[in-house]
Structure 1
Amino acid sequence: MNPVTAFTIIMLIWAVSDFVAKKTKSLVSSLLVASIIFLVGFKTNVFPEDLLTSSSLLALGQTVVGFIIVHIGTMISIDELKKQWKTVVIGVAAVVGIAAFMFLIGSLFLDQNYVIGAIGAVSGGTISVIIVQDAALASGLVMVAVFPVLIAAFQGLIGFPLTSLILRKEATRLKGEYRAGTLKVEKPEEHHEAEPKTILPKALQTTAGTLFVVGVVVMVAAYVNNITDGVLNKFVVALLLGILLRAFGVLKPNILSGIDAYGLMMLAILIIIFGPLATSSVDDLIALVGPLCIAFAVGVSGSVVFSGVMGKILGYSIPMSIAIGLTTLYGFPGTMILSQEAARSVGENEQEVAAIEGQILPKMIIAGFSTVTITSVVITSILAEFIH
């Protein structure tokens, strides 16, 4: 297919997907809409099988995955993680719960490869899906590569309404405490807008300079992966380097935000996950409906049980703990949107809304980082080595 035509078609698909997601307030995710469009297009032969490869986005996405992971690392503040350490622990417990339940219960119904794929997708986002896909495709397991894509596409449909109900229950509890005068209301910290600081010279803060620096970090991560024979996975190393280099002032927070190439890079890595859909048959996809239901039922149950128990141990309410665990199904910005909606739906005046949101929002934001961004990537990177 003509490269320009392929590129233009994909941009149209993503524009439509984003439009639907915004209109439904992310209840219907852009990933789900895009998955449906690609599936229908490929299976009806409206789209040629080489649509993704012809666009050059697939090759770009595979090149810049490491760049995006370093960027994600620079989004994480070690100081914030320390303040919300209980939330981090509950989030880690949720991902461990998903893995434990999938191996203990899911293995009774699913092959080990599908179990690992389910763990990566239910507990994480795009990066975890790509990690599973890389391992599956390297072993020639196309349907194992497709499986996490389907899970990721439907995560929001399950996670958003479920979390919304639970957070409203937590908001109602907090409103009662606020009216009784037992809720400790902390004044929001004043954040003064300032240019993020970095020790890098101005010449390396341009679009090209930034991409060069991040590219070097990705190369270091790949080198560490090679000399440890894969024991230290390149994606995990890239994430950790992003976190540490931000903490030491080498890289600015959100290092890629604002540079000219960031939006296209994000679109390119999202395109990666649709690759296996082009070569899978309709019968194969129908056969994955059962495993898909099992993955959600078992995985979400593991998250609920482990996060609920750990939260109880650490002094959090059960609803708040479960909500933290469910962030594996969507991450940011869903964590922010659901927190704000819960506070506004229960609070009856500005003071109540602010008090409730002040308790829920910080926990949910950090929860998304601790589950989707950190723990899922680490655990999936380890487990993906066992796909064969």
Structure 2
Amino acid sequence: MDGLLALTIIMIVYAIGDMIATKTKAIISMLFVASVLFAVMFWMGLPGTIFQDSMLQPFATVTVGLLLVHMGTTIKLREFIANWKTVVVVFCSTIAICAGVYFLGQLIINRDMALIGAPILGGGVVAFLVMSDALKSAGPQIVLFGSLVLVIQGVVGFPIASMLCKKEALRLKGQILDGSLTLMEEKKETSDGKKEKKNIFQVPDKYNSPNFMIAKLAVVALIAQKLSALSDGKVNMLVICLILGILAREIGFLDEGSLTKANGFTFVIGAVLTNVFANLAQTTPATIASMIAPLAVVVVIGLACCALVAILVGKFFGLSWYMSFAMGVTALFGFPGTLIVPSEVVRAVADNEEQKAILTENLVPTMVISGFVSVSIVSVLAAGIMAGWA
């Protein structure tokens, strides 16, 4: 297929997916829409080489490391430390999802299906990339199953999280009405008029161009690649990229959200997602239908383990079971869903601006941090470990 035509078709599908996701307030994700469209088009004769022909797949091969380093720069260690209870609850619940799906799931379904599904259900795209590479020798059907887990998890997670957040919001609203819950005084991290402390890597803004930022991302990704090679690949390169991204931002070498600031995030993530959709080229309706049962097993076991552990750990910290389970279930969709769901709930429950401010303060930051912990950190680390079990 002509390269430009292939790229055009892919971007149109992405655009349609974005439109539907926006219209449904992300309840139906772009991943789900695009997967359905690509599957149908493949069944109607669309060449399976479309992603290679568009050059997006080769581009993704060399830029996925930059994406993981970028993800690391979005993680604020100070914020995580301040919200350590949230971090502990979500860490435990995400590990429970991964362990439960693998150890219990393989008693019912194919072991490789349980292995690839475990960290993907507990995370997202990055976990899929790690596990699909580790299990590619298991055959295209196993990798396809991983794609289906990735596609369906948001469809399941969104309504559950919305319901739980609404129950928590109503509980908090009762406390607002009886006067036991008020707006906390905002704490400023830095005093007014004081400049941020400079670091040895700081350069004047006029030199901090998009190319300069991407160059630094590439340097860090290259270091991660070399470190992974030193371990003979036992420590996954993408996991190292994430860790180095966090550290590089903390010492000031990289900007927060570097790839976004460099105007490259949309194109890089679009290229990386082709690895998810490429597996659909080998499918048939019968193939998809045969995977519904094992898919249900993975989702049910994952949610049950998530609920059990999140609620128990949350209870230890004095959290409501609604909030604890909602925090755990963010593993199924991540950001921006973790911002959209509580924001929509606040608008629906609050009667006035004061209630809206208090509910926002108690729901939104917790959900956003939960999503970062589960999707961006724990699932990636879990995938890096479980990839060695393949």
TM-score tier, shorter chain, comes to over 0.9
* In structure 2, distance between residues paired with 1:298 and 1:330: 17
- Structure 2 counterpart SS, 1:257: helix
Match status 1:86 vs 2:85: yes
Match status 1:347 vs 2:350: yes
Match status 1:331 vs 2:334: yes
Greater alpha carbon shift after TM alignment, 85-94 vs 128-137: 128-137
Output the amino acid matched with 2:370.
A
- 1:136-188 deviations in Å (ceiling 9; x for gaps): 22x15211111121112122221111111111111111111122222253134
Aligned to 1:162: 160
The alpha-carbon deviation at position 292 of structure 1 amounts to 0.8
Output the amino acid matched with 1:79.
R
Which of residues 259, 271, 281 in structure 1 aligns to 2:262? 259
The alpha-carbon deviation at position 104 of structure 1 amounts to 3.6
- Structure 1 counterpart SS, 2:260: coil
The alpha-carbon deviation at position 208 of structure 1 amounts to 2.0
* In structure 2, distance between residues paired with 1:197 and 1:17: 42
Aligned to 2:2: 2
- Structure 2 counterpart SS, 1:108: coil
* In structure 2, distance between residues paired with 1:316 and 1:261: 39
1:217-256 superposed matches below 5 A:
217-256=220-259
The alpha-carbon deviation at position 201 of structure 1 amounts to 3.3
* In structure 1, distance between residues paired with 2:213 and 2:221: 12
RMSD: 2.0
Output the amino acid matched with 1:369.
F
The alpha-carbon deviation at position 196 of structure 1 amounts to 11
Greater alpha carbon shift after TM alignment, 205-214 vs 122-131: 205-214
Aligned to 1:172: 170
1:1-388 superposed matches below 5 A:
1-45=1-45, 47-137=46-136, 139-189=137-187, 199-202=201-204, 205-387=208-390
The alpha-carbon deviation at position 326 of structure 1 amounts to 0.5
- Structure 1 counterpart SS, 2:308: helix
Output the amino acid matched with 1:278.
A
Output the amino acid matched with 1:103.
Y
Output the amino acid matched with 2:170.
T
- Structure 2 counterpart SS, 1:49: coil
- Structure 1 counterpart SS, 2:256: coil
- Structure 2 counterpart SS, 1:28: coil
Is the 2:346–2:360 contact (alpha carbons within 8 Å) kept by the matching residues of 1? yes
- Structure 2 counterpart SS, 1:62: helix
Is the 2:27–2:155 contact (alpha carbons within 8 Å) kept by the matching residues of 1? yes
* In structure 1, distance between residues paired with 2:91 and 2:248: 23
- Structure 2 counterpart SS, 1:229: coil
* Distance change (3 Å), C-alpha of 1:240 and 1:384: same
Unaligned runs of 5+ in 2: none
Sequence identity of aligned pairs in percent? 32
Greater alpha carbon shift after TM alignment, 317-326 vs 223-232: 223-232
* In structure 2, distance between residues paired with 1:146 and 1:4: 26
Is the 1:110–1:291 contact (alpha carbons within 8 Å) kept by the matching residues of 2? yes
* In structure 2, distance between residues paired with 1:228 and 1:40: 42
Output the amino acid matched with 1:82.
I
* In structure 2, distance between residues paired with 1:77 and 1:244: 10
* In structure 1, distance between residues paired with 2:337 and 2:315: 24
* In structure 1, distance between residues paired with 2:103 and 2:268: 38
Is the 2:39–2:283 contact (alpha carbons within 8 Å) kept by the matching residues of 1? no
The alpha-carbon deviation at position 190 of structure 1 amounts to 5.8
The alpha-carbon deviation at position 230 of structure 1 amounts to 2.6
* In structure 2, distance between residues paired with 1:111 and 1:131: 19
* In structure 1, distance between residues paired with 2:142 and 2:304: 22
* In structure 2, distance between residues paired with 1:155 and 1:110: 18
- 1:200-254 deviations in Å (ceiling 9; x for gaps): 4358622222222111111111111111223322111111111111111111110
- Structure 2 counterpart SS, 1:105: helix
* In structure 1, distance between residues paired with 2:35 and 2:209: 35
Q: For this pair of structures, how many residues does the alignment match? A: 385
Give the TM-score taking structure 2 as reference length: 0.94
Greater alpha carbon shift after TM alignment, 228-237 vs 33-42: 228-237
Is the 2:234–2:388 contact (alpha carbons within 8 Å) kept by the matching residues of 1? no
Output the amino acid matched with 1:201.
V
